[in-house]
Each structure stands twice: as C-alpha cells, then as structure tokens.
Structure 1
Amino acid sequence: MNWGRDGRDWPNRAASRFVSAGGLRWHVQVLGQGPVVLLLHGTGASTHSFRALAPMLATDFTVVAPDLPGHGFTASPSRASGYTLVAVANGIDALLRELGLRPTLAVGHSAGAAIAVHMTLQGSIEPVAVVSLAGALLPFPGMANDFFGPAARFLASSSVTAKAFALFAGSRPSVERMMRSTGSSIDPEGMRLYSRLAGNSGHVHGALSLMANWDLRPLQRDMPGLRCRLVLVTGSRDGMVPPAEALRVRALVPTAELVSLHGSGHLAHEERPAEIAALLRRMVAHEAAG
C-alpha cells in the first residue's frame, strides 16, 4: 500500500518507521519503553490489528509490531520462497537485529503465532514465553489442508487474479461476511481498515502468497522441542481456528497453558484489548517474580 495515501490516518502512525533489513523494506511500529514485547499479526492483517493493544502495552513495555512481508506497508519479497515460514521468520529476525531489540515476550495472532514459535525453536529469539492468540499452529486436518494451498497459489499466480480477487474481497458485503466468519465483533474503524486492506491488490497478493507457501508440517514435527512457556489463548466463538485446535497443540506440548475467552472470536485482541494487555502484564510479572 502507499504510505502517503493509505497511511495518512493509520493507527499509531507516529510510531511508524520504515527499516531495511533482510532484503526488504519493512513497515514497523515501535512505541513505549521497558521489556520488549513482539506483536506479530496474522495472514491478511497488519499493524492496525494491534491499534488498541499496542498503546496499552506501551505504558510498561517497548512494543515492536511489524507488517509481515507483502502485507500493509511492508515490501513484497521478489520470489515466492520469501513467503515461507522460515523466510518470514528469518526476515523478522533481521529486522529485530537492525532495530537492536530482543523480545522478552513474543505474541502472535493466528499465523503470527507460528512465526513466534518457529523463531523461538530456532533460537533467533529467546522470550520467557510465547503467547498464541487464536494461533494457527498446525496444518488443517484432512482435505482442507490439500485444498487451501493450491487455491491460494492459483489466486496469487498473477497480478491479474490478485486484482480481481481484491475487487471482490474489498467490497463491503465481502468484508462483512469475512468479519462474521471470525466470530468477532470489532469497531467501525477496524471494519474500515480491513476494507482498505482487502481492496488493495498488493496486500491481497501478499496474503495469498503467504497462504500459498505456508507449510506447518515441520513446525508440527519440531514443536515438542519448545522449552519456553507457551500460552494458548482461544476464543469460544472463533470461526477460523476452532478452540479445539489448542488441545491438538497441547498434545504436542503438554506444558502448554490454555486460556479460554468466553464470547470472543478470532480477533479477541481487537475485541477485548484491555483483557489481553492485562494477561500479558501478569505473565511478565510472574516470570520476573519466578
């Protein structure tokens, strides 16, 4: 997206900066002072997803929140291989090194949770805990896993298909359907920003490319080796990552902690940011005391 046009009223704009690292020009927001909290959004979203949560945390922490490759205002990788889990994680590692920030806490929403877990497993970050917000940490079971990758690859195969899909996805009825499917009710500003993202062909191409090149099978294999604290936050109304998925994750990581938010959907951090902020503060305080 174009910062001069699309970023004029972007949430937390004063915290935005553009940083070259790992071969990409990243849009990243950094705000506050204190222990570093890394916030990673999910597929199809951007830093706007943390528009309320980030300022709340910034009273006690240094918050760093990047747009993923091809999302929002971060540049797109030149090759499809730049959208793999390993490549995205390596890129964020390069960004953090350029910024000179090492996270105390890694918080990922949906696909962002997979990135946080992978980075911890490979040792590029050493957080005291990883917090998965409606984390998409495992491959879709059965036929769903075999369908979504090829479908996304087709839609991301050219700028023409991406533009056509953006015209459809960016319409108000499509965005409203998408929001209903999450099980969440978000504020009008959130709806407006998701509409802007969904109607931008570059952002849509980035989201589709991420889905087309995402492979969680290695993460599923390696996850039992996770040694730091893992907290799995689920929403009882989540229509995109069913809460039962957290039980599948805990079968791999028996020490994982489950936190269920009754009445919340896939975007609980946008619906109830104060509750999520309080949870994260308690976690850091607990680790410091322990």
Structure 2
Amino acid sequence: MSNVLSILIAAGLGLPALSLAAEALRRSPSPPAQLRWAPDIPIQYVEVNGIRLRYIKTGQGPVLVLLHTLRTQLDLFEKIVPELAGDFTVYAPDLPGHGYSDIPDAKYDAAFFADAVEGFLEALHLNGVTLAGVSIGGAIPLIVAARHNPRVARVVAINPYDYVQGRGMARSSLLARLVVMAAGMPVLGETVMRLRNFFIMKNILEGGVSDPHSIPPQLLKEMYLTGNRKGHYRAFINLLRNAGSWQTATNDYARIRVPALLLWGSQDWARPDEREQDRRLVPETEMATIERGGHFLPLDRPDEVVRHLREFYRRHSPRLAS
C-alpha cells in the first residue's frame, strides 16, 4: 500500500514538472508580417491602457468593429471581412491576451475586456460605431452599450457568452468539459494548460461549428501556434477562472439604450431558455437565429452573418446604400 501511495505521489509531483519542461520547450511564434487570407490589408498596432493591441482596418463607409471569441483572434473573421469592407470601414482587433496583442498580467474578467475595447475606440477616435462580436466578443458590445459609451451607436451580439457562469465552452465536447473543470483547480489547471496540444484545441473548436470543414486548416494551425506565445496559457486560464463575470455583467443589460441585435446559431452552446433570458434583459432588442450555425458563426455561416449585419444597419441608419 505504501509503495502504491509513493508511486501516486511521485506521479502527482512529476506531471507538473513535466508540463513546465514542455512549456519551456515551446517555440513562441513571430508576429506575421501580413495576413494569410488578405495580404493587402495592413496589420497595425495601437496602445490602449498601456497594452499594445494588434488590429486591422479595411474598407470604407460607416464604422464596424468586430470582436472575436475567447481563445481565437481577429482571423476568425477572415470569411466576412472582405465582404463587409464594401459597405463598412471594418476594424478588427486582437483582444488582450489573444492573437498577437500584448499578454498583460491582469484579471481577465468581463470588465477588463470591456475597458480595453472602450480604450480601443477612444485611441482611434471612432464614432458612430456598430460594435459587433462573437462569444465574449458578443457580450462586450452589450456591456459597453450598458455603460452608455457615446461612441457606440448600435450593437450586435452574436452567440454572447453570458450564461451558465461562463462555462458554456464545456458544452463543446468531452475534452472541453475536462479542460473547463481542470481550469478551476489550482496546480492541475496550470498543468493541463501547459500540456495542451493541437488535437485538444482542434477538438474543442470543432465542437463550436455545425460542420468541422468550415474551419480552414490554416486557421487552426495559426491559432494553435499563437497559443504557444509566452504567457498565453496563463491568460487563458485566468479568463476561464473569471468566466462567471460575463453572466454577472448581464445585470446591467437593462441600461442599454441603443439598437441591439442578438444573433444566434441554431446549434450554439447556449440553450433556448438562456437565449430568451438575454432577450428579456435587453430593452427592445431584436433577435434572430441562423440555421445550421454553431458558436463560431462567422466560420459556419459567413454569408448569413454578413446579411444580418447589413440589414440591421439599414434598419437603424438609412445611409447604407442598398
């Protein structure tokens, strides 16, 4: 019995050490000089609240700012940015701790991300903004609108991540459920994150689309490599441990006074009653569902996302030509 206990203790101590070694051996990728999917769109950087954010700007017309999901980056919108650029001046940043933006030592809760987005709008002097995004990027526009930010004229929340205390990702797959569970445990959470691999990431992301083929293989590879940046896994686990803050933020949704659209994929992780809860909380909101769409809707049904964004803008501003 004592031998078995000794083996278990040794294994328990050895795994964290092994994970630290694995993390130390990871090669941090260099920021790309251009976008794989749109080499003509320049990559730019701006400092916001002491944090350097990567972003892109393209197109012409009214301002549309796109915010990506947790654990992804601005390239999530590669299928819709070229289409939207014909009607809008499109901005898409990497959120702090994501993509190639800085990874600060911070509390990665809802308020932190909302502050960063408000700082982004201010730093670039953007006004009359349509603020749209997916997942946490969908909840941020609602939070910013509830703050009555004068730069924001309308918001679109695509599959907002503001239910079940921020554990919606656990509904992606069995592996996702295990990762979310482990994230809440000291030492074990860090160990699991340091032992991450491409298969685990791919499995979780594919659980967020109705058709796994809708995620370009090159995008999967890019996002996996981005996750090897120094400190990236710490930011992600911090986000997961503060995920309940997204649901807490819904307490302020009743203060929203600008036009709002809730756009859901029929196969999103949120359940019907959780979607209806947002509809009840946001005053006079519009709500629509895109069939055969999962959580990462801009990858699953890009044409439908573009259509809804255009039509929503037209309904609330006649200046966009038909």
Residues 132, 230 of structure 1: 8 Å contact kept: yes
Give the gaps of 5 or more residues in structure 2.
Answer: 1-26, 171-177
Q: Residues 194 and 243 (structure 1 numbering): CA distance in 2 closer, same or farther, change over 3 Å? A: farther
Cα distance in structure 1, aligned partners of 2:150 and 2:303 = 26
**Deviation readout 1:212-267 (Å, 9 max, x if unpaired):** 223134422111121222211111122x3335421111122352222111111111
Cα distance in structure 1, aligned partners of 2:30 and 2:90 = 24
Cα distance in structure 2, aligned partners of 1:69 and 1:197 = 13
Q: Equivalent of 1:92, from 117, 123, 136?
A: 117
Identity %: 25
Cα distance in structure 1, aligned partners of 2:257 and 2:137 = 19
TM-score, normalised to structure 1's length?
Answer: 0.83
Write out aligned runs for 1:83-122 (5 A).
83-122=108-147
- Aligned residue in 1 for 2:288: 259
Q: Equivalent of 1:242, from 254, 267, 271?
A: 271
1:28 has 2:16 as partner: no
Q: Equivalent of 2:92, from 53, 60, 65?
A: 65
Letter in 2 for 1:51: E
1:177 has 2:186 as partner: no
SS at match of 1:231: strand
- Aligned residue in 1 for 2:258: 228
Cα distance in structure 1, aligned partners of 2:167 and 2:59 = 43
Q: What is the aligned length?
A: 280
SS at match of 1:28: strand
**Deviation readout 1:126-164 (Å, 9 max, x if unpaired):** 4332111111133439998xx998853547x79x937x5
Residues 224, 253 of structure 1: 8 Å contact kept: yes
Residues 236, 262 of structure 1: 8 Å contact kept: yes
- Aligned residue in 2 for 1:165: 193
Give the gaps of 5 or more residues in structure 1.
Answer: none
**Deviation readout 1:90-128 (Å, 9 max, x if unpaired):** 122222211121253111100111211111111225433
1:152 has 2:183 as partner: yes
Residues 166, 201 of structure 1: 8 Å contact kept: no
TM-score, normalised to structure 2's length?
Answer: 0.76
Residues 2, 73 of structure 1: 8 Å contact kept: no
Residues 156, 263 of structure 2: 8 Å contact kept: yes
Give the root-mean-square deviation of aligned CA atoms.
3.1
